[in-house]
């Protein structure tokens, strides 16, 4: 009795195992749609009612082909009436970012933000006011007034022109509000157009004409004649400066 019982249990186990298995009919494969391959199979032990087809198809975003089943000839026949894109839409799984089978895609590159075109720097303010405090055509110098908000500058890039001729100029040592200039070499003398350049930028352009202030009346000598050298003396190397704060 025990032996018969063991045999019964053994055969029951084999029967359940067989019912859960599938056998493929390797003699029949088909391609209902270009790009889709199907292989017929039977599920044991009732091949008549459990016939189907195992089909493979490439799916977007998946590294390997995806396999799906259709059952009966009706299921396979439906594939013949579909296009490849329709089969993909119906049977391919939705992409899953957590699945390792999804082919990683590179993140989109961001377009560089547009940069504003460089703007030109604001023009420098005038260095001189256009006024002068003292001048002397005989000593050949003039003291100009420096503007309150005069721009700073590099002495190597600073230039003062008298009618396009370079003049020797420097701030007065005893009054930082005064720019003292020696006239260019004789026979130059005012009136003159004064131009001040800092670097390549023109910051002043005005007319200087001292008139009688710069050319005072000459005192006759003992012979009753005026000094023939009046107003034509050599250029002063260090023009005198005044202490006026105007």
* CB-based contact 171:165 (threshold 8 Å): no
**Which residues, 6+ apart, have CB-to-CB distance to 132 below 8 Å?**
142, 143, 144, 145, 208, 210
Tell me the residue range of the domain where 28 lies: 2-91
pLDDT in tens, 56-91: 999 988 889 999 998 878 888 889 999 999 999 999
What is the model's pLDDT at position 188? 75
Tokens of 150: 């005069």
CA 76 to chain centre: 59
What is the model's pLDDT at position 23? 66
Spatial separation of the C-alpha atoms in residues 116 and 4, rounded to whole Å: 94
218 to 33, 117, 183, 191, 226: CA distances (angstroms):
119, 62, 20, 19, 7
**pLDDT band with cut points at 50, 70 and 90 for residue 241:** low
The verdict on 137 and 190 lying in the same domain is: yes
74 lies in some domain = yes
229 lies in some domain = no
238 lies in some domain = no
pLDDT in tens, 143-172: 999 999 999 989 999 999 999 999 999 999
What is the model's pLDDT at position 125? 94
109 lies in some domain = no
Spatial separation of the C-alpha atoms in residues 104 and 156, rounded to whole Å: 63
pLDDT in tens, 19-47: 445 666 556 788 888 889 898 888 765 54
What is the model's pLDDT at position 4? 60
Position 218 pLDDT exceeds 60: no
199 lies in some domain = yes
The verdict on 134 and 208 lying in the same domain is: yes
What is the model's pLDDT at position 46? 58
Position 236 pLDDT exceeds 60: no
The CATH number of the domain where 152 resides is what?
A: 2.60.40
232 lies in some domain = no
Q: Is the pTM of this model over 0.75?
A: no
What is the model's pLDDT at position 212? 81
138 lies in some domain = yes
**Of the residues 62, 91, 120, which one is the last residue of a structural domain?**
91
As for how many domains the chain has, the answer is 2
């Amino acid at each position: 009795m025990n032996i018969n019982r063991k045999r019964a249990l053994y055969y029951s186990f084999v029967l359940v195992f067989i019912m859960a298995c599938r056998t493929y009919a390797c003699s029949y494969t088909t391609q209902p749609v270009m790009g889709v391959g199907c292989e017929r199979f039977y599920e044991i032990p009732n091949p008549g009612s459990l016939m189907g087809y195992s089909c493979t198809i490439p799916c977007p975003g998946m590294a390997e082909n995806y396999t799906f089943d259709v059952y009966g000839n009706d299921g396979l026949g439906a594939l013949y009436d579909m296009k490849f894109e329709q089969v993909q839409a119906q049977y391919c799984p939705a992409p899953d970012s957590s699945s390792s089978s999804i082919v990683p895609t590179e993140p989109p590159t961001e377009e560089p933000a547009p940069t504003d075109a460089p703007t030109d720097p604001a023009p420098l303010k005038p260095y001189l006011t256009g006024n002068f405090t003292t001048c002397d055509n005989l000593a050949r110098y003039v003291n100009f007034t420096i503007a309150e908000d005069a721009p700073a500058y590099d002495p190597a890039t600073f230039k003062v022109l008298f009618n396009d001729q370079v003049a020797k100029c420097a701030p007065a040592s005893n009054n930082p509000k005064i720019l003292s200039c020696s006239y260019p070499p004789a026979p130059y003398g005012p009136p003159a157009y004064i131009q001040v350049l800092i670097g390549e930028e023109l910051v002043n352009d005005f007319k200087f004409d001292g008139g009688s202030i710069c050319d005072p009346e000459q005192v006759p000598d003992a012979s009753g004649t005026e000094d023939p050298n009046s107003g034509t003396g050599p250029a002063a190397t260090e023009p005198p400066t005044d202490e006026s704060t105007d």
